[in-house]
Amino acid sequence: MKPMLAVARRKKYAVGAFNTVDYLSTQAVIHAAEELDAPVIIQFSVKTVKYWGHAALVNWMRELAGNAGIPVAMHLDHCKDVDFIQQCIDAGWTSVMIDASSKPFEENLALSKEVVERASKAGVAVEAELGEIGGVEEDIQVADEDAHLADPEKAVRFCREMDLAVFAPAIGTAHGVYKGEPKIAFDRLEEISRRTGVPLALHGGTGLSDEVFKRCIALGCAKVNISTQLKYVFIDSIVEYNRNGGAYEPLKALEHQYHKIKEEMGKNILLFGGQGRASQDQPVYADYE
Ligand code: 13P
C-alpha cells in the first residue's frame, strides 16, 4: 500500500479503499478495479475479520488478488487492539490501521509507533489516525460532541516520529450516513498535507459530493474509504431482486448483487481518478519501496 499511495499522492489521484464483507463483494470490487485498470485497496473491518476468521479472508485474497492483473492491497481498517493487529500481520495482511485516536496524544503516538515497529519487521504498511472521526464504523462509535479535528502541530510531530504509509487526520468527515451537510476543514487538510508530506486517508467517503472528493484528492488525500455505500448496495440489491419478482434462486440473486456492487464501486474508482493507473504506475512502485 505504501508505494501505491505515494504515487497516487504525487499524481493527485486516490486509490479507493472498500470495506467488503464477504467473498462476493470482494470479488465484485476487485473485478471493477480490474476492468478499469486501477489499483485498489480491500479493507476489512475487525468485525468482518472476526466473523470469517483470518484464514478465510487471506485465502480469498490470495486467490482474487493473485488472479487480478492490478495491484491489490489487503488492509485492516480501524483497529484498537495491538494483539489483533499482530494476528493480521502474521496471517498475511499487507497493511493495517491502528486507531488509537480516542486516547490522549502521547498514548496514541506511542501505540501507533509500536504498531509501525512490529509491522515494518514483516514489511507491512501502517495507517494511523489523529483527532477523532465522528460517526459509527463497526464497533467504534464516536458521538458528535467527541469528534474533533486533527491539530496540525500534533500531526507534524505524529508523522515525523514514525514512517506511515498513510495518515488519517480528522478533518470533518464522519462514518455512516451524513445527517446534514458535512463541514470539511479544507484549510486544515491543506496545511496537514503540506506540512507532513504523507499521503492522507479520507474517511467517511459515503455521501460526500463529487466536488468534495475532487478537492480533498487535489489537497493530498490518496486513499478514499467507502464502507456504508457498499453495505447499502449489498442489501438493497437483494431486496430489489426480490421486489422485481426474481426467482428464489440464490445464485441468480447473488449474480444481481455482484453486478450492482461492481457497477457502483466502479463509479467511485472512476471518480477518484484511478482508471488506467495500474499499468501506468505499478512499474514505478519499486522506486518508492
Ligand atoms: P463510510 O462508511 O462513511 O463510507 O466510511 C468508511 C470509512 O471511513 C471506513 O474506515
pLDDT, residue 289, reads 66
Closest CA to 177 of 245, 232, 104: 232
* Domain boundaries of the chain, sorted by first residue: 2-288
**Of 77, 81, 90, 187, catalytic:** 77
Give the type of residue at 32: A
pLDDT, residue 287, reads 87
- Is 287 within 8 Å of 6 (Cβ atoms)? no
In terms of C-beta density within 10 A (0-12 exposed, 13-18 middle, 19 or more buried), how is residue 163 classed? middle
- 38-82: pLDDT as tens digits: 999 999 999 999 999 999 999 999 999 999 999 999 999 999 999
Substitution site in 15, 18, 19, 46 for ligand 1 pocket (most atoms within 8 Å of beta carbon): 19
What does the block give as the cell for 223? 486513499
pLDDT, residue 139, reads 73
> Left, alpha or beta for 197 (phi > 0: left; psi -120 to 50: alpha)?
left
Q: Which fold has domain 2-288?
A: TIM Barrel (3.20.20)
Q: How far is the CA of 230 from the centre of ligand 1 (A)?
A: 10
The 8-class DSSP code of residue 43 comes to E
> Which atom in ligand 1 lies closest to the alpha carbon of residue 201?
8
Q: How far is the CA of 79 from the centre of ligand 1 (A)?
A: 14
H/E segment holding residue 108 = helix 105-121
The 8-class DSSP code of residue 149 comes to P
Known catalytic residue: 77?
yes
Substitution site in 226, 232, 264, 271 for ligand 1 pocket (most atoms within 8 Å of beta carbon): 226
Q: How far is the CA of 77 from the centre of ligand 1 (A)?
A: 9
Q: How far is CA 76 from CA 57, 97, 190, in A?
A: 11, 6, 26
Substitution site in 20, 41, 44, 175 for ligand 1 pocket (most atoms within 8 Å of beta carbon): 175
Closest CA to 124 of 83, 153, 92, 102: 92
User: First CA to last CA across the chain, in angstroms?
Assistant: 10
* Cα 58 to Cα 268: distance, rounded to the nearest angstrom: 25
* Residue identifier of the C-alpha nearest atom 1 of ligand 1: 204
Exposure on the CB side of residue 7, measured as CA atoms within 13 A: 23
Q: How far is the CA of 202 from the centre of ligand 1 (A)?
A: 9
* Residue identifier of the C-alpha nearest atom 8 of ligand 1: 203
pLDDT 10s per residue in the chain (289 long)? 999 999 999 999 999 999 999 999 999 999 999 999 999 999 999 999 999 999 999 999 999 999 999 999 999 999 999 999 999 999 999 999 999 999 999 999 999 999 999 999 999 999 999 998 888 777 777 777 667 899 999 999 999 999 999 999 999 999 999 988 999 999 999 999 999 999 999 999 999 999 999 999 999 999 999 999 999 999 999 999 999 999 999 999 999 999 999 999 999 999 999 999 999 999 999 887 6
pLDDT, residue 149, reads 94
- Is 132 within 8 Å of 146 (Cβ atoms)? yes
DSSP letters for 227-247: -HHHHHHHHHHHHHHHHTT--
pLDDT, residue 61, reads 98
> Which atom in ligand 1 lies closest to the alpha carbon of residue 207?
3
pLDDT, residue 144, reads 73
Q: How far is the CA of 225 from the centre of ligand 1 (A)?
A: 5
Q: How far is the CA of 28 from the centre of ligand 1 (A)?
A: 18
- Is 59 within 8 Å of 26 (Cβ atoms)? no
Strands of the 134-137 sheet, one edge to the other? 140-142, 134-137, 174-175
| Pocket lined around ligand 1, Cβ cut-off 6 Å | 19, 77-78, 137, 175-176, 203-206, 225-229
> pTM value?
0.96
